[in-house]
A and B are shown apart, each in its own frame.
Chain A
């Protein structure tokens, strides 16, 4: 088997749009869970809304910046709709409501009655909304190679998308870094520990939780845009498994850390490609068919992650000391 090309594939996946999209979504989830203790089980819903918001408004002829703003606005409204009734209640309610709401977005998106906007279950073809983003690139058209990696400069699954995507990830990390060491971040951390205590100290806990939910949701929507710009808008490709993968990535990298979600995303997608490649190269076709390799890849990644969580529950970058405190 060709280890060189396997290695190339792994690295390609790690720098690709999927890893970027999940990193953004996991950074958002980190603001919810790692910083504030909110359990959002519908991050995929925020991503899907971002994807729809961006694609539909682009198809309607809006420029890139306006389409991005629409995606952000959709996430803000969604967060407020979910947060206003539930954030005054105990934590579990948010979890239940978000998982249901994300499903509602997906099911409404694929319903035939809306197919003139959303394309129904077929979704929206990439070519119908990618033009304006490619057009915004300052680089010349054509293909470009960097080492073993060759992509078109601007079209579809491009270098331009990777550059913008990683820039977004860097900005999001900077945002989390600044917020985490600020008094605002301190209040969120307090809420994570005991919201009544924070309330007794005069902080409007409800307001802070809403801010956190909105901010993390917007990052999810940006992740959705990146995800969608690499392929198409497909409601079923942003369903529940995406939320669960995002959680896995967050816990793998380390919640409540700045770079944990990014590292988690890189390793998660890298590991998946690596495992599949090894199975394909080392296990004969008669034992595992190509399709079974797909599935077995998920299984092995799942087991690896379970082991990691068992033996390193704070995640790769998490602070063991912080986790070891027994909360009395």
Chain B
């Protein structure tokens, strides 16, 4: 279903291919039931003052696929992430993750249950090194309990595993040469990468990325997209918020559109982005803006197009 066949993994797990194929048969209406949902939200509402920041009647996120959550600024995407991951509490509503209700569960337990998120405003731990940042992302380190921490032999073995894994991920994200630098000395884009890599340390079942590409060098975007697809092919479910429509077209299997807190459309990327209602909701007055036209992705045009999207993303970033 991806727009770009050579990016679609050839070594995907069979259940991944199956989950992606199953999407084709679905109705393209907001709140449509998925054959194998990972995350199901029901009647989730959050108001700030009088503003309905989030008002999601029903939303299901299919397991084993890449779902993009798009919508104009202020649509409630980040707030929806906050609610699902326990960083904010809804006025009403409930939701389940992998069959378990998560309403009222604290953020740390949500994360341990396998749903890990990143932040739109990057949260690198500035005065810790890149490698320490990564290690912190790992789970089940007995040395994180106070008494065990005092007895090094009880946790060094696990620490070694964690470090190996961290170095692997850092190499993937081209940060391995920076491992001993303080995270605070990284550039904005590098911090985004670090945060994403750190989130992957615990092998989450669902990773929720809030604008992962904002500020990332276009030359790196391509390989990052490859990593995200690889993640999916290895069985991780991905839900991401992104304003870069090229990326959305490129890698998502399913797109959910939010506007003013509500889910207004969902469907496969091509259909959703050609939908006039979506274009209206998303772009408002800017009808002439390009919503990630495929022709731009042809060889030659690709880099330029992404460089454009890049500079747009950079303009948007300091919110």
Contacts and interface: CB of A to CB of B under 8 A. Distances in A.
Interface of A: 175, 178-179, 182-187, 189-190, 192-194, 196-205, 211, 215, 321-322, 325-328
A190 B136 contact: yes
Given A178-B149, A182-B143, A187-B144, A193 B126 contact: yes
B108 A203 contact: yes
Nearest to B110: A202
A187 B150 contact: no
B45 interface: no
B126 A183 contact: no
A328 B126 contact: yes
Given A196-B87, A199-B107, A186 B136 contact: yes
Contacts of B2: none
Contacts of A189: 125, 127-128, 132
B184 A201 contact: no
Nearest to B139: A202
B85 interface: yes
B149 A197 contact: no
Contact of B126 (A175, A196, A200, A327): A327
Interface in B87-121: 87, 106-109, 111-112, 116-119
A187 B149 CA distance: 11
Interface centre among B135, B136, B202 (most CB of A within 10 A): B136
B155 interface: yes
B159 interface: yes
Given A202-B112, A203-B108, A327 B149 contact: no
B287 interface: no
A178 B111 contact: no
Most chain B C-beta atoms within 10 Å of own C-beta, residue among A185, A189, A200, A327: A200
B63 interface: no
Contacts of A178: 149-150, 152
B108 A182 contact: no
A190 B111 CA distance: 16
B127 A184 contact: no
Give the one of B116, B137, B152, B159 with max A CB within 10 A. B137
A205 B87 CA distance: 13
Contacts of A327: 126-127, 184
B182 A325 contact: yes
Most central of A196, A197, A202, A328 by chain B CB within 10 Å = A202
B143 A183 contact: yes
A196 B146 CA distance: 21
* CB-CB nearest 10 A-B residue pairs: A184-B149, A182-B149, A183-B143, A325-B184, A202-B111, A197-B123, A193-B125, A202-B112, A199-B107, A183-B144
Given A201-B198, A202-B202, A183 B119 contact: no
A190 B128 contact: yes
Contact of B184 (A198, A202, A205, A328): A328
A190 B125 contact: yes
B127 A193 contact: yes
B252 to A, nearest CB: 23
A70 B262 CA distance: 58
A200 B149 contact: no
A89 to B, nearest CB: 15
Given A178-B149, A193-B128, A322-B182, 19 more contacts: A182-B143, A182-B150, A183-B149, A190-B125, A193-B126, A194-B125, A196-B87, A199-B107, A200-B107, A200-B116, A200-B123, A201-B111, A201-B201, A201-B202, A204-B109, A322-B127, A325-B185, A327-B184, A328-B126
Given A201-B116, A205-B108, A186 B127 contact: no
B182 A321 contact: yes
Contacts of B319: none
Contacts of A193: 125-128
B145 interface: yes
B311 interface: no
Nearest to A197: B123
8 contacts: A194-B125, A197-B119, A197-B195, A199-B87, A200-B123, A201-B116, A202-B108, A211-B146
A183 B155 contact: yes
B141 interface: yes
B119 A200 contact: yes
Contacts of A325: 126-127, 182, 184-185
A205 B136 CA distance: 13
A32 to B, nearest CB: 15
Contacts of A187: 136, 144
Interface string B156-172: 00010000000000000
A205 B108 CA distance: 8
B119 A196 contact: yes
A239 to B, nearest CB: 31
A204 B108 contact: yes
Interface in B250-290: none
Contact of B116 (A202, A204, A321): A202
Contacts of A328: 126, 184
Nearest to A321: B182
Nearest to A88: B106
Nearest to A214: B146
A179 B125 contact: no
Contacts of A201: 111, 116, 136-137, 198-199, 201-202
Residue of B144, B148, B184 with most partner-chain A CB within 10 A: B144
Contacts of A202: 108-109, 111-112, 116, 139, 202
A302 to B, nearest CB: 28
